[in-house]
Amino acid sequence: MASEDIVALCDVDDRRAADSFKKFPDAKRFKDFRKMFDEMSGKIDAVLVATPDHTHYVACMAAMQNGKHVYCEKPLCHTVAEVRSLQKVANEKKLITQVGNQGHSSHSIRSFTEMVQAGIIGNVTEVHAGCDAFKDIYHLTRVREELKQKPPLPPELDWDLWLGPLKPRDYHPAYLPFNWRGFSAFGSGCIGDWVCHVLDPSVWALDLDLPTAITAEVKDYDPEKDVEFYPKGTRITFEFAAKGSRGPVKIIWHDGDFAIPQHEDLKKQDRKPVGIGAIVIGDKGRIMHGSHGGSSPHIITPELLKDFKRPEEKIPRVKDGNHQMDWLNAVRDNRPAGSPFSYGGALSEIGLLGMIAVRRPGVRLEWDAKSMKFTNDSAANKWLKTEWREGWGSI
């Protein structure tokens, strides 16, 4: 977004912000976004939020309450209640929003969607998706003892602001700048990091609503003892109801030590299974794709390749597949962006529901999306929102 007039920059850590401060010397600098809006609101049109997940909501809501259009990195929020609240305010204030699942603006996700909706692989009943990256980042029980230490706080970092609305805890370098994703207080593990990228193609192409049930299998994880962490592996089954002419769909998510299974189509061709991405299974054939907008979607069923013709392009393409510029141009044109909070937030909610299922392994959680509650497991409902400390508001 460097093409725009950057008027303010806000970061709690001067070390991480140094390059941006140098690149935009005329921008006013802040550590507290609340002070930024108090002082600069009249000079700001739109805001990019790219903080850790646990502060997405408070930063986005502050911007939106000031009438600003918002682009927020994925996942949209850290809890389902936060997602729903942002969606509501965005709709009420008619703001132009975008979630940072960059692949949604790609040509590949459009090509995949056109292939599926043209019926090339028939009726889709199952999707095997997942991510095998950064295993050591997401599974961090090894640092349990390290967290008892109290190393000195770097002077450039405002730790209290980094925590934001969360209850106070001691600083530790194990949390940041990146490993926070493996701690449940701040991130949502592998599924929170990747679901908006990997499941986006199937959700769009199959017009999926929110799941009706979620069941998780976990590896090396005790939901009581390890509640601060993410499992060494998860396999999570999401059930989606039938809609229109489409039947019900199951999406099985795999990460860590649970690998996406190698389909028979791949075995026949002696090809490797997908590591990050999905295999989409129809009653006529299969499509395999990668992450970020279903990169490189291709049919893996040999019988279908003989007479395959790529369907006509029906979905308008985003120029250069640029997700950030799609949002900026949407603001200028006063039109919806490609992945507004209504859509990208729903993708985020799928991942957050999966994270709750991880805390209730082996339990088939029945989800009532309309009333925003699990109907068969009251213990799971406590994870739908986070209790904040005083001074940061509530939902």
Domain limits of the chain?
8-103+325-340, 106-316+348-384
Distance CA 273, CA 264 (A): 10
The listed CATH number (2.30.30, 3.30.360, 3.40.50, 1.10.238) that belongs to domain 106-316+348-384? 3.30.360
Q: Residue 75: its pLDDT value, please?
A: 98
Classified as helix, coil or strand, 154 is: coil
Strand partners, 47: 70
CATH number of the domain at 8-103+325-340, please?
3.40.50.720
Distance CA 295, CA 169 (A): 40
Question: Tokens for 390?
Answer: 């005083």
Tell the burial category of 5 from Cβ atoms under 10 Å away from its Cβ (0-12, 13-18, 19+): exposed
Cis bond leading into 248, ω under 30°?
Answer: no
Classified as helix, coil or strand, 199 is: coil
Distance CA 51, CA 294 (A): 25
Cis bond leading into 75, ω under 30°?
Answer: yes
**Per-residue 3-state assignment (H helix, E strand, C coil) for 321-374:** HCHHHHHHHHHHHCCCCCCCHHHHHHHHHHHHHHHHHHCCCCCCEEEECCCCEE
Q: How many CB atoms sit inside 10 A of residue 96's CB? A: 23
Task: From first to last of the 395 residues of the chain, give the pLDDT tens digit.
Answer: 999 999 999 999 999 999 999 999 999 999 999 999 999 999 999 999 999 999 999 999 999 999 999 999 999 999 999 999 999 999 999 999 999 999 999 999 999 999 999 999 999 999 999 999 999 999 999 999 999 999 999 999 999 999 999 999 999 999 999 999 999 999 999 999 999 999 999 999 999 999 999 999 999 999 999 999 999 999 999 999 999 999 999 999 999 999 999 999 999 888 888 999 999 999 999 999 999 999 999 999 999 988 889 999 999 999 999 999 999 999 999 999 999 999 999 999 999 999 999 999 999 999 999 999 999 999 999 999 999 999 998 88
User: In the chain, how many H helices and how many E strands?
Assistant: 14, 14
The pTM score is 0.97
Q: How many CB atoms sit inside 10 A of residue 1's CB? A: 11
